[in-house]
Each structure stands twice: as structure tokens, then as C-alpha cells.
Homo-oligomer: A and B are copies of this chain.
Amino acid sequence: MKELLHTVRLQINPSVYIKNPESTELGKKIMTEGINLIDKIGYEDFTFRKLGQKIGSPEASVYRYFQSKQKFLLYLTSWYWAWMDYRLEFAIANINSPNQKLERTINLLTERVTEDSNFTFMNIVKLSRIVFTESSKSYLNKEVDEQNKQGVYLGYKQLVGKASGIIMEVSPKYKYPNMLISTVIEGAHLQHFFAEHLPKLTNKTNGNDDVKKFYHELVLKTITANKK
């Protein structure tokens, strides 16, 4: 993707923050250093106190932006999904062939983010690593229904919905587009994690693009009608 010279402001559901961190310097420091810290020590060991020490502010100041570290994680993941949604729109703009749209969509959803975009102060490489490892924890808990009512997963749902729509363009009769897309997204995260930490659970051969290839093939074959 090309560098963008104009600034894009991503839309994040306000339910995940108290005060928009993009609106102040301190808020931006919280995001930048928060990402660094979670990427380094992991979500479990991450605390607002440690973050405060990094940015030279008391933890109480961090609490003025986010109710809890859960909400902070939700903010980061929401930001990521909004960014992906934006990238998806960009990637399929002016493309007419549904098949080509689908190919680009699957690429986007399954490939690793390795290059830093400088369109934002967010470190995207680190953020995407965080999302791959930690994002499922934001819904796999007992608060999921309550949080869902507040709308904290809207960004994720929107992206899944959009990608499912592209599946339907290619194969209008396919019954399970949402299942397929959420399987692909979460599966790709997992496979990248496994490749690094539990290789017995995956199949990385020589190279790099195995995950992408695997899900490409899987999606295309799955949505194509069989000649029984």
C-alpha cells in the first residue's frame, strides 16, 4: 500500500474510552507507550502503574482516559479493526471483479503486518502482534454480553460483515459467510502465533506465505459449489 500524505481519522466507538486519547499529547503517549509495553511484557503483566512510570505520569492520569486495562485493550483492537476496515476499502476500491476483491480481502486478513505505516503515531507492527495474541481475550470472558451491549465489538463485526459481503458477491448461495470469515481471521492469527511458538500445530515449510496460501485455497474451495 502506498503512503498517504493526508491524515485519516479512524472512527472508534466511544464506549471503550473515557476521554479520546487522540485529543491530547498525554493520550498519544499512553497509546504509543502502552503498545510498546504490552508488546514487550504481554497483556497479563501489563499494568497502568508500569505504563505511568514509562510516560512519567501517575497511573491515576491513565485512568482518566481508560476505565480499565480491559477497555484499553478494547481500544487498541477497535483501532486495529477500524484501520483494517479502512485498508480493505482502499484495497478493493475501483476493482470490479468479485474474485479479485476476495483475493485482496483474504490477503489483508491473513497476512502478517511487517511494515510500519507512517500515517499514524501507532506502531502498527507491534499493534498487530498484540491483536494476534491478545484480542480474543477481550471477548472470551464473562463480561462479553454486557460489553457487547455497549457496542465495544462493533468495529470487528463491521469488518466481518464487509468481508462476508465480498464472499457473497463471489458465491451468492454460500450459507456460512460469517463463519468462514471469522474462522479465517482468528485462524490466521493463531497460525502465525503457532508458527512462532508451537510449530507442531502448524505447517510452515521453507518460506513465509504459507498461512496466506492455506487460507486462500481453503476459502476458494469452500465457497465453490461441488459438482456432485
Question: Which residues of chain A have a CB within 8 Å of any CB of chain B?
Answer: 41-45, 133-134, 136-137, 139-142, 144-145, 148, 153, 156-157, 160-161, 175-180, 182-183, 186-187, 190-191, 193-194, 197-198, 200-203, 205, 210-211, 214, 217-218, 221-222, 224, 226
Contact = CB atoms under 8 A, between A and B. Distances in A.
A37 to B, nearest CB: 12
A182 B195 CA distance: 12
A191 B178 CA distance: 10
A142 B129 CA distance: 12
Nearest to A154: B200
Binding site of A, secondary structure by majority: helix, strand, loop or mixed?
Answer: helix
24 contacts: A42-B141, A43-B141, A44-B141, A44-B142, A45-B142, A133-B140, A136-B136, A137-B137, A140-B193, A144-B198, A157-B200, A157-B201, A161-B200, A175-B203, A176-B210, A178-B201, A178-B202, A178-B203, A179-B211, A179-B214, A180-B214, A180-B218, A182-B202, A222-B222
Contacts of A222: 217-218, 221-222
Contacts of A157: 198, 200-201
A202 B45 CA distance: 32
A77 to B, nearest CB: 14
Contacts of A178: 200-203
B197 A182 contact: no
Given A179-B202, A179-B214, A203-B177, A140 B145 contact: no
B140 A201 contact: no
The 9 A-B residue pairs with the shortest CB-CB distance, nearest first, are A42-B142, A183-B187, A221-B221, A157-B200, A176-B203, A182-B201, A176-B214, A144-B197, A178-B203
Nearest to A140: B133
A183 B191 contact: yes
A198 B140 CA distance: 11
Contacts of A156: 201
Nearest to A134: B140
A182 B192 CA distance: 12
